[in-house]
Amino acid sequence: MSTPKKIKLNLAWLGAAVLVLAGCASQPAPPVEAAPVAQACPEGVPEGARCLRGQDSAGSHYLIVMPAQWSGVLVVHAHGGPTLGPPSTKRADEDIKRWAITVIEGHAWAGSVFRQGGFAVTTAAEDTERVRRIFVDHVAKPRRTLLHGQSWGAMVATRAAEMFPKSWEGVLLTSGVVAGPATYDFRLDMRALYQHLCNNLPRPDEAAYSLAIGLPKDSKLTTAELAARANECLGVGKPAAQRTPEQARRLKTIVDVLQFPETSVMSHLNWGTFALRDVVEKNGGISPLGNSGVRYVGTSDDAGLNAAIPRFKADPQAVARFAADVDHQGRFAVPVISVHAINDATVFVQGQDTLRQRMTAAGNGGRLVQAFVDSKEHSYWGDAHYPVLFEALLSWVERSQKPTPAGIAQRCQQLEVARGEPASGCAFVPNYVPQPLATRVFPR
């Protein structure tokens, strides 16, 4: 006997409902977070502010700071780094001291320390979202919520912006890693070039290993010992006048080929050794970085350099796994202001061109404003620059007044004069346009 049409429809509806309920069951609601506890504020927090601390359900410590007179705006901060080793609550103390200008402007500040030490971007994005929820559930309901990513924290922020698009109304990126994994290619170049010139990492009498892993997992090498080896080969710990001609020649080769100042050599060598080991460990022991096919230039004998420099091939699975954890596609649903120092030797300004290209390709080019600062500083450009960025982003969010680089520069000077400060404290360069990343990092 045939089933009546009405019953068939009801059965179909019931089946669909069961599937929906099954889907909901597979995505449980996030755990209820404990309320933060009021504690004394760390050094550098503006007078009158109230501080709260806690540890979320995933184990991440966090700090929340409420200003004495709250604007109603919450700024969730994603910190730079990454810091290797176990996370420490001191990280949040350092960040709020540096970013006290946020609270001075009347905005609440919330920052997670992140549950994992080292290079874990997706989990850090989850921790960033979690501290936002804790603020909303236990502290206050903000009228606006902004996401601020600084340096490596911009990589976290871009992940969080795509993973949790309804959580943020505007995104501010400063000195940001915004070009994805390609940002780090030159650190392997640094490692390979250093070994070609110095041959002491590892030394000839030490066990050989692929430089693409940074350092073997069981290596006991310390940062002090690495610095001693670099000083032995390059004289980086000595005044220029005390270096041998051979040390000076090697150091100049690194500077000429990789295009960053000699003062940055140790930080990049450290990254290409210890941080790269952390990246590889989090990628199943396989390196996502390689330099096969790279054509190096900048010496009097480029052919000789390219014939002799160590070569490594990136593992495709590791490449995909690394990108899945750290990369973004420019699919941001809210206004984004990204600002960078032109002479930043830690994270190159050319990565901003990649951000622009990706957001344009995703149909979000109109949601991006980029501004640039005449500075070589990476971490903080001075108090004059940040109030205007918060103001510009809020005006864009609340009144659809999209800022321009020229308008940001002009408004920065106006605010400085209003505060009784010299307008020379503002270093925005309105007409600057960054070149592609491939002009600074050898493509591969």
What secondary structure does DSSP assign to 291-307, as a single string? -TT----SSTTHHHHHH
Which range, of 5-19, 253-267, 350-364, averages the lowest pLDDT?
5-19
pLDDT at residue 373, as a whole number:
98
Mean pLDDT value across the chain: 93
From 17, 311, 27, select the one nearest 191 (Cα to Cα).
Answer: 311
pLDDT at residue 175, as a whole number:
98
Which range, of 2-16, 81-95, 252-266, 321-335, averages the lowest pLDDT?
2-16
Contact indicator for 74, 128 with CB cutoff of 8 Å: no
pLDDT tier for residue 22 given thresholds of 50, 70 and 90: very low
What residue type is assigned to position 265 of the chain?
A: V
55 and 120 in a single domain? The answer is yes
Q: Quick check: 235 pLDDT over 90?
A: yes
Q: Which residue has the tokens 């698009």?
A: 165
Residue 66: give the domain boundaries: 37-181+326-438
* Residue 344 in domain: yes
Which range, of 27-36, 107-116, 264-273, averages the lowest pLDDT?
27-36
pLDDT tier for residue 27 given thresholds of 50, 70 and 90: low
Query: How far, in Å, CA of 208 to CA of 201, rounded?
Result: 9
* Residue 443 in domain: no
What secondary structure does DSSP assign to 265-285, as a single string? HHHHHHIIIIIHHHHHHTTTT
What residue type is assigned to position 319 of the chain?
A: V
What are 318-341's pLDDT values in tens digits? 999 999 999 999 999 999 999 999
65 and 191 in a single domain? The answer is no
- Among candidate residues 294, 323, 352, the one where a domain is terminated: 323
249 and 127 in a single domain? The answer is no
314 and 339 in a single domain? The answer is no
70 and 158 in a single domain? The answer is yes
* Residue 26 in domain: no
Pairing of strands 368-373, 144-150: unpaired
282 and 203 in a single domain? The answer is yes
Q: Quick check: 363 pLDDT over 90?
A: yes
From 143, 142, 122, 144, select the one nearest 134 (Cα to Cα).
Answer: 142
What are 159-188's pLDDT values in tens digits? 999 999 999 999 999 999 999 999 999 999
Split into its structural domains, the chain has a count of 2
187 and 246 in a single domain? The answer is yes
**CA angle at residue 191 from 273 to 307, to 5 degrees?**
155
350 and 319 in a single domain? The answer is no
Q: Quick check: 21 pLDDT over 50?
A: no
Which phi-psi region, left, alpha or beta, contains residue 114 (left: φ > 0; alpha: ψ -120 to 50)? left
pLDDT at residue 13, as a whole number:
38
113 and 76 in a single domain? The answer is yes
243 and 299 in a single domain? The answer is yes
* Residue 444 in domain: no
Q: Which residue has the tokens 């109603």?
A: 72
| Cis preceding linkage at 202, omega within 30 | yes
Residue 227 is given by DSSP the state: H
173 and 251 in a single domain? The answer is no
Query: How far, in Å, CA of 391 to CA of 33, rounded?
Result: 31
